[in-house]
Amino acid sequence: MALPPQDAAQFEREVDEEYRRAQAADFGRKYGKWIAAAVILFLAAVAGSIWWQGQQVKKGEAGAEELAKVIADLGDEEQADSIASRLEAVEAGEGPLASAAAGMLRAAVLLDRGDRPGAIAAYQAVASDADAPEAYRAAATVRWTYLDFDQVEPDVVVARLQGLAQDGQPFHGAAKELTALALLAQGQDDEAAQIFKTIAEDESLPTSLRSRAVQVAGSYGVDASAALAQIEQEGQ
């Protein structure tokens, strides 16, 4: 199955925006240009936000201080070889918030190094961790699915994202889009187009995602153009 027809950086921005809308957290800070090498910095922002929230909720959580140090060392080439092992140590320690953040960041490090299987495994670990906060399990599931979209059957994607592709769920926009793309791969064009229409009409989602959904829905015979005026107004 082909990879989703969208730019990876754009996907990252939209997941970022969905998180900020859903959690009202400081998750949208920018770290340079959105290029492949910036994936680490993107998830450093995620990890930093998680660490900050963890400190507010549970200041004594084990691993939070070390995680903050790892984030600070991300740009230090002399520390590059030790980053992964340090993150693994935080993951293994006590405290679900710091552990989930470390897992997300370790996945980004592995991906930046070209280890896609390793990154997928790291995201899977966070997604399957019952102690991890819901939003982070959801984020890990979306990232994992995006990375292995071309390696699994469409029905696997649909089943995996079924719970997330519901209004009100964390990252429901990204989950719906991936679900719709999987349905297109199955030949279920009408159902997929209707999902794209719901994305276009969802005011809580990023305008870039909604605009793309209007175009895709229209290409499969479903008119979602009524949402265009508002999307264009939001984009001004």
Identify the segments of the chain with pLDDT beneath 50: 2-3, 5, 19-45, 51, 56-57, 59-60
Task: Name residues whose C-beta falls within 8 Å of residue 146's C-beta, 6 or more positions apart in sequence.
Answer: 4, 8, 11, 174, 178
The pLDDT tens digits of the residues spanning 130-147 come to 988 898 899 999 999 999
HEC string for 171-204: CHHHHHHHHHHHHHHCCCHHHHHHHHHHHHCCCC
- Write down the pLDDT at residue 59: 42
- Write down the pLDDT at residue 225: 86
Tokens standing for residue 117: 């299987």
- Write down the pLDDT at residue 196: 94
- Write down the pLDDT at residue 223: 92
Domain ranges of the chain: 1-137, 152-236
- Write down the pLDDT at residue 195: 96
Please tell me the distance from the alpha carbon of residue 52 to that of residue 63, in angstroms, as a whole number: 12
CB 68, CB 51: distance < 8 Å = yes
- Write down the pLDDT at residue 22: 45
Tokens standing for residue 230: 């508002």
**How big is the chain by its Cα radius of gyration, in Å?**
18
- Write down the pLDDT at residue 112: 82
